[in-house]
């Protein structure tokens, strides 16, 4: 095992897959000479040259559209959008083309591309650069959606995404790029989509968190154990399409309680979807209503204190978990 930051794990995944397959290439704004807005593509231009590490004009609709065409033509593009909010400018290409073309061509055309998008708040980037759009892309048939929370998962999931014949929305949280973690030595194996991780075993309540909120969920579980004697089980879905609902339901049937934590807005969010699935399929196992902890239903403030107030923290998760246990402690 080697310790590395998430940005380094992502870079290694791309480099290894580019060495493995000549059809894989990277394209996006500032991915070459500048080595990426978050330095994820550092060193790739030097190794693979301009033909396979392509700086593009500032036009997200064009970048993704060119990626769709390249994928249909037999290549495997990794498209980097500088931040997730810029994907709104490419929604036509993502939803009406990348996601729909395999269906419209009855499987005779494939779109094996990865669209990498950093998102999330906490960096005082204001309301237009702090979005959490997991729920937006979760809704679209034909897209796979990955949300890694550790360097090891980021590397293994990105390798799997690059090899997959479907278009993949690969969401990375900006606050996690510098996070360190153990990553298996060597090239390692891709991680199958649709396999959740049980980050912590517990018997009293299930806490489900994704991206940075997976770490917040673990912090909350530690506080629950130390301060309240509550043993929380923490589930990290890792991918939202496909979703490993079996692991989530098995945990809920063991603990009889569930808390879902996400950074996105509450209405129509990932938590709303998961809460419905749990209630539909494990209603008789629940001893309390499913609790949701979400970002505030506001545009992200620029003020640091207000921004932090709009983002879930471990104390919010602890309160939600204790609410499910009210009367039983």
**CA–CA dist 193, 144 (Å, integer):** 8
Question: Does the annotation count 60 as an active-site position?
Answer: yes
Catalytic hit among 29, 60, 172, 233: 60
**CA–CA dist 209, 62 (Å, integer):** 34
The percent of the chain in helix, strand and coil, each rounded to the nearest 5, is 40, 20, 40
Per-position DSSP letters for 47-91, written without gaps between them: HH-TTTEEE--S-HHHHHHHHHHHHHTT-EEEEEPSSGGGGGGGH
Question: Does the annotation count 267 as an active-site position?
Answer: no
Bridge partners of 205? 232
Catalytic hit among 97, 129, 131, 173: 129
In Å, what is the CA distance from 193 to each residue of 9, 28, 254? 18, 25, 24
Contact 177, 203 (CB under 8 A): no
Nearest Cα neighbor of 143 from 269, 13, 242 is 242
Q: Report residue 282 as tokens.
A: 């494990």
| Residues acting as catalytic residues | 60, 129
């Amino acid at each position: 095992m080697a310790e590395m930051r998430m940005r380094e794990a992502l870079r290694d995944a791309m480099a290894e897959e580019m060495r493995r397959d000549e059809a894989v290439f990277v394209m996006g704004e500032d991915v070459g000479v500048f080595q990426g807005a978050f330095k994820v593509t550092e060193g790739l231009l030097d190794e693979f040259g301009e033909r396979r590490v392509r700086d593009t004009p500032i036009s997200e609709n064009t970048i993704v559209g060119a990626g769709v065409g390249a994928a249909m033509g037999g290549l495997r593009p990794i498209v980097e959008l500088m931040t997730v909010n810029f994907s709104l400018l490419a929604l036509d290409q993502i939803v009406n083309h990348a996601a729909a073309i395999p269906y419209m061509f009855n499987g005779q055309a494939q779109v094996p591309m990865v669209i990498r998008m950093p998102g999330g708040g906490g960096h005082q980037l204001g309301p237009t650069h702090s979005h959490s759009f997991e729920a937006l892309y979760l809704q679209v048939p034909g897209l796979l959606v990955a949300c890694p929370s550790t360097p090891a998962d980021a590397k293994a999931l990105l390798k799997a995404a690059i090899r997959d014949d479907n278009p993949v929305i690969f969401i990375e949280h900006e606050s996690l790029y510098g996070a360190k973690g153990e990553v298996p030595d060597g090239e390692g194996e891709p991680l199958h989509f649709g396999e959740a991780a049980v980050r912590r075993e517990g018997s009293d309540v299930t806490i489900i968190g994704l991206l940075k909120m997976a770490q917040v969920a673990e912090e909350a579980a530690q506080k629950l154990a130390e301060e309240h004697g509550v043993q929380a089980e923490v589930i990290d879905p890792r991918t939202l399409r496909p979703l490993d609902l079996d692991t989530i339901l098995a945990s809920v049937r063991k603990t009889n309680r569930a808390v879902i934590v996400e950074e996105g807005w509450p209405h129509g969010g990932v938590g709303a979807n998961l809460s419905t699935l749990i209630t539909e399929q494990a209603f008789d196992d629940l001893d309390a209503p499913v609790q949701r902890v979400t970002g505030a239903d506001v545009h992200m403030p620029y003020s640091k204190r207000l921004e932090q107030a709009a983002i879930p923290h471990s104390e919010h998760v602890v309160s939600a978990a204790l609410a499910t246990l009210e009367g039983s402690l």
